Amino acid sequence: MAQQSKYFSREEMQRLAQRALGFSTADEARVNIQSGVRGNTRFAVNQISTGGDVYDATLTFTSAFGKKVASATTNRFDDESLRAVVQTSERLARLVPEDPEYLGELGPQQYPNATPFFQSTANLTPEARAAAVNAITRPAATRNLVATGFLDMVVGSQAVATKKGLFAYQAGTETNLTTTVRTPDGTGSGWAGVGQNDWSKVDPAQLADRAIRKAELSRNAKAVEPGKWTVILEPTAVANLVQLMTFAMDARSADEGRSFFSKQGGGNKIGEKFLDPRVSIYSDPSDPQIFSSAFNGQGLPNRRMQWVESGVLRNLQYSRFWAQKQGREPTGFADGFYMSGGNATIDQMIASTERGLLVTRLWYIRPVDPRTILYTGLTRDGTFLVENGRITSAVKNLRWNESPIFMLNNIEAMSAPVRVSASESGEAGSAVTVPAIKARDFTFTSLSDAV
Amino acid sequence: MKRRDFLVQGTALAAGSVLLPGLARAHAPVLEMDDPQVKELAMRAVDAARRAGASYADVRISRNRTQAVGTRERQITFFNDGETYGFGVRVLANGSWGFAASRDLTADEVERVARQAVSQARASAAAQRRPVELAPGERYPDATWTSPVQTDPFNVPIEEKVALLLAANEAALKVQGARFVNSSMFFLKEEKTFANTDGSYIAQTIYRSFPQLNVTAVSPDMSDFQSRRSSDIAPMGLGYEHVRNSRLVENAPRWAEDAVKKLTAKAVQPGRYDLVLLPTHLWLTIHESIAHPTELDRIMGFEANYAGTSFIYPIRDFLGKFRYGPEFMNVQGERSTPGGLSTVAYDDEGIRPDEYLIIKNGVINDLQTTREQAPMLADWYRQQGKPVRSHGNSYSQSWADVQFQRMPNVNLLPDTVKDTSVEELVSGIQDGILIDGDGSFSIDQQRYNAQFGGQTFQEIKNGRITGPLKDVAYQMRTPEFWNGMDAIGGRSTYFLGGAFNDGKGQPSQSNAVSHGSPAARFRKVNVINTGRKA
């Protein structure tokens, strides 16, 4: 394949942003641009079903007259289209009422050095993706199992620029490989997956091996009673739950009295101990374990933020407006996070468990009660009974109703943190690094017949 | 997880490589969709695919306009206008699919992309176990269709939209105890042109409108908060008239009062209850536990890695045999209800969708299909004396995504004999709960075990409503739940609910779909209390 531009370089972004800003007649203007290629290969029933690469780019132009603000988006960058998108945003901005919370655009900023860009991912051609898929489907077919899955990759860049001279640019790569291996009679199902910025860290054969082992082990599942169980949650399942807490860490809704992080009588829980003291959570755009965006949509830098330290709430997410109102610093929000762990292995957790459940991953997770960050969902693709320190049987899947807050107060043991694929959809996304956790009193509420 | 900023929303599945046009490169001007050049380019793409060896090819050229406006309390929070424009070519070559897409609508580019799609198909064919077989195509050489809109939302003054939302917020905030209100409107206008090797050329314009409001009440000591969403206003495939007819200002105080009442409502005692489910709630249960498990691609295992499979397997044990529910249960698939979100005259492979009964007299009777899938049901159709024909259930969310099987509007049909009212359904209950509005929802990957919340809950004692409850969710197993339905409301209780963003596929594509339903009564359903103390 001929060498081609997969995404806009810093210089191209600068030129494009300047061209767009050049058409602006508003008091304030901001341009947000994203460009890139998204490549994917899907496989089903041991063969590639679809795959390919889409190249696209979009530009969103925001205009403000005083405190009257509006935006418009286009995916065409000829002068006529750029002029049109600027004019649309200006026309809308003149017509909308004032936004009393609009603080104007930012001038030049200092950004952390965060370039989560890896040539191994940028070079992931359709042929290389097909080879990775074969490394999963071949061993599955050899063992008379059925592999289905998804390899997603993104090579792209994003930029923000304002009329006040701010310019932010970041290029990056992400990849995510997931597979669900099922027995042909549908009585067993196993999953494995991982997300990485750097494709060279992904080992498809090892993922295949895990999913195959789980599919075979999960045959002949027996039913156990729902109720409070000791669980050993593999890192993926931990991420599925813990990320729900990070989504809820918004200072404003806490201060407004409509969040778990609201304090009775007013204010929020910053400074309070609310989790097991072994739990610390931070985000840091330049940490290779949890690379993330160096800036937010307004061009505000993201920086290292300690959200939880030894079980104490250290920070919530503050927007520019809410930070100004409450006399705090805006925090930005790096979308990946790192959670501290321990030194137990999953094998040791199993060995130390008299009766419990080993859980591979959670699925169809939806909010039930925001007051306690209570969610519901199901176990899926590998749920096993542990008795007297050994895995004794596969068990039928269970529905749970649980909050990460309760789970992180019931910790018995943790492993070293690892990078996982935390999204339900298997798409390339935020970098999440978490441990496996053994926890007591995890609430299962009903049985599911789904395999 | 939030999508990362590197990704352009709406970009998805495609094959081959499509060049990102260089910045210096001149674009062709944006064409109006009725410009004769659009047809020329579509034909050029189809011809190029055929010349490259495609046995079948289709092209979709589309221009999507979106508008979103949001407010909170007394202020605007966002106003965005968006447009995306491009084309996608899908081909069948050597028995395999190929797809490619580009945002650069020029003569050279459509030909290049068409060839790219063919080479992609050939590459996939190397690993093909069973070549794709298509049900018969149809030819519509000059067809057009537009959603039945009275007022194009994009022609309505911005000031009017913002003023309406702020007035609705104000009406809600007048209610004592209502502290926060968010309201928004979302509009879509998609001009979609389709051409294929069967000789069809179809131009459709699809509209969607979605007004929403959400009120939060907070207790005076900040120890509790409760919300109520405008779940009785569904998204629709209509224009701005739907927003006006939603009467947000008039309804807002009622939603606010519901939120305030929840603060002091009685917490439900867990146990088995008889339920009266209003269609504002039941549409979502239909969506999750009937519409999804009857998608044929799920059943065949193609979605196993994400959306999941289905308990309906193997097909021969279910079609014409499996009792989903009582004799009076009939569930229809269609894309013709005026204002339905899935309503179109032609699907994304040029087929006229038909109306069909997925469940007939309580028994599974048919499944959702595309041209590729209908032949998988050939034996069943032959038994029935029916032709092997696609139901017209192919859909793609944009020019950049490949079309695949997506659900049509799937409706539970009301009682046609007797117009049973909600009051009559309630009067037959000793100890039960009436649920209004869709809330929390979750269902397993084969669509057996589900849990649903709601917006408001009313206690029923001895055939009468006695007051509000809170912290209610019910859990069910699909077959037992539907077989426990013992009465169904009549035409006067019928309501069209809808899902604005139904996800399926990898990368995930969003489909919009309506579900019509009457009110209905269910016996002995397991209800849990979702309130936990932190």
B210: its two tokens: 């979605």
Cα within 13 Å of Cα(B391), Cβ side: 30
Query: Residue A294: in which H helix or E strand, if any?
Result: none
Most confident of A163-177, B113-127, B129-143: A163-177
CA–CA separation, A155 and A198 (whole Å): 11
B21 to chain A, closest Cα gap in Å: 9
Provide the percentage of residues in chain A whose pLDDT is more than 90. 88
Whether pLDDT at B374 is above 80: yes
Among B268, B324, B370, CA closest to B484: B324
Chain A nearest-CA distance from B60, in A, is: 15
Across residues B454-467, what is the average pLDDT? 98
Facing residue for B5 by CB, picked from A158, A424, A426:
A158
The verdict on B220 touching A (C-beta cutoff 8 Å) is no
pLDDT tens sequence across A270-303:
999 999 999 999 999 999 999 989 999 999 999 9
Bridge-based pairing of strands A227-233 and A437-447 is antiparallel
| Site from B444, B502, B530 to mutate, A interface, most A CB atoms within 10 angstroms | B444
Q: Is the pLDDT of residue A2 over 80?
A: no
Q: Token pair 């359904």 is at which residue? A: B425
Q: ω into residue A116 within 30 of 0, thus cis?
A: no
A40 with B507: Cβ contact below 8 A: yes
Highest mean pLDDT among A111-125, B76-90, B243-257 belongs to: B243-257
What integer pLDDT is reported at residue B311 of this predicted model? 97
For residue B3, what pLDDT is reported?
Answer: 31
Sign, CA dihedral A11-A15-A20-A23, equals: positive
B504/B288 Cα distance (integer angstroms): 12
Of the candidates A207, A180, A185, which has an alpha carbon nearest to the alpha carbon of residue A195?
Answer: A207
**Band of residue B127 on the pLDDT scale cut at 50, 70, 90:** low
- Closest-CA residue of B relative to A160 is B5
- Give residue A347's pLDDT: 98
**What's the gap in Å between the CA of A8 and the closest CA on chain B?**
9
What is the mean pLDDT of the segment spanning B482-500? 97
pLDDT value at residue A430: 87
**Interface contact A151, partner B, CB < 8 A:** no
- DSSP E strand stretches across B39-74: 56-72
Q: How far apart are CA B338 and CA B498, in angstroms?
A: 13
Q: Provide the pairing of β-strand B143-146 with B178-196.
A: unpaired
- Torsion sign (Cα): B394, A132, A56, A116: positive
A299-313, B102-116, B205-219, B223-237: least confidently modelled range: B102-116
Q: Are B7 and A154 in contact (CB < 8 Å)?
A: yes
Put simply, whether B216 touches A (Cβ < 8 Å) is: yes
A66 touches chain B (CB under 8 A): no
Distance CA(B208)–CA(B74), nearest Å, equals: 26
What count of residues does chain A have?
451
Q: Which residues of A touch B20 (CB under 8 A)?
A: 4-8, 35, 37, 55-57
- Amino acid A139 reads P
Q: Are strands B331-334 and B409-412 parallel, antiparallel or unpaired?
A: antiparallel
Chain B environment of A54 (Cβ under 8 Å): 11-14, 18, 101, 400
Tens of pLDDT, residue by residue over A70-106, are 999 999 999 999 999 999 999 999 999 999 999 999 9
Phi, psi for B276 (deg, rounded to 5): -105, 120
| pLDDT value, residue B29 | 62
Interface of B with A in 252-281 (CB under 8 A): none
Q: Tell me, rounded to whole angstroms, the distance of Cα B413 from its chain centroid.
A: 18
Residue A329: strand, helix, or coil: coil
What is the spatial distance between Cα B477 and Cα A326, in angstroms, rounded to a whole number? 48
Q: How far apart are CA B395 and CA B351, in angstroms?
A: 11
Q: What is the mean pLDDT of residues A142-170?
A: 96
Residue B336, chain A, CB below 8 Å: the answer is no
pLDDT tens string A362-407 = 999 999 999 999 999 999 999 999 999 999 999 999 999 999 999 9
Q: How confident is the model at residue A127 (pLDDT cuts 50, 70, 90)?
A: confident
Average pLDDT over residues B456-477: 98
Is the pLDDT at A107 greater than 60, yes or no? yes
Residue pair B87/B98 in contact (Cβ under 8 Å)? The answer is no
Percent of chain B surpassing pLDDT 90: 87
Which chain B residues are closer than 8 Å to A449 by Cβ? 311, 444, 446, 448-449, 477
Averaged pLDDT score across all residues of chain A: 95
Helices (H), B96-224: 107-125, 158-173
> Could you tell me which residues come within 8 angstroms of residue B255 by beta carbon, excluding any fewer than 6 positions away?
B172, B213, B215, B228, B229, B230
* pLDDT exceeds 70 at position B10: no
Q: Does B106 touch chain A (CB under 8 A)?
A: no
Report residue A124: phi and psi, to 5°.
-75, 85
Q: Alpha helix (H) ranges present in A74-186?
A: 79-95, 119-122, 126-142
Q: Does B314 touch chain A (CB under 8 A)?
A: no
Report whether A205 contacts A139 (CB < 8 A).
Answer: yes
Do residue B301 and residue A44 have CB atoms under 8 angstroms apart?
Answer: yes
Alpha-carbon distance A175 to A179, whole Å?
14
State percent of chain B over pLDDT 70.
94
| HEC assignment per residue over A300-343 | CECCCEEEEECCEECCCECCHHHHHHHCCCCCCCCCCEEECCCC
pTM here is 0.94
Mean pLDDT, chain B, as a whole number? Answer: 92
CA distance B6 to chain A (A): 5
In this structure, what are the phi and psi dihedrals at residue B378, rounded to the nearest 5 degrees? -55, -45
Q: What is the distance between the alpha carbons of residues B303 and A43, in angstroms, rounded to a whole number?
A: 10
Closest Cα in chain B, distance from residue A110 (Å): 19
Q: How far apart are CA B521 and CA B52, in angstroms?
A: 58
Confidence of residue B13 (pLDDT cuts 50, 70, 90): very low
Strands A355-369 and A305-309: unpaired
Compute CA distances B365 → A334, B315, B330, whole Å.
Answer: 50, 11, 10
